[in-house]
Amino acid sequence: MTKLNLNFNYNAWNEYLEWKKEDKKTSQKIDNFIKECQRHPFTGKGKPEPLKANLSGAWSRQSNHKDRMVYSVTTTELQIWQLKYHYSK
């Protein structure tokens, strides 16, 4: 798979910046997830799983015990929807 273009929604971008300030370890893990997802969005670290119900079509990866990276994928783009909490948005 070719490298997907990266896009954050407004809230996810703010959460990304918060992680950069608050927790370097989780921030680095998220950066690694993003790089991995741009090439292999459905396999790899963080226990990738497809979401169901109203989040059908989105995927998540576990960044720590309480937080998830929620994202979706098109043929050209990796869309980041959420980087904090547990499927709350």
Catalytic residue positions?
Answer: 49, 86
Q: What values do phi and psi take at 58, rounded to 5?
A: -100, 160
> What is the spatial distance between Cα 25 and Cα 1, in angstroms, rounded to a whole number?
28
Q: Where do the H-state alpha helices sit in the chain?
A: 10-22, 24-39
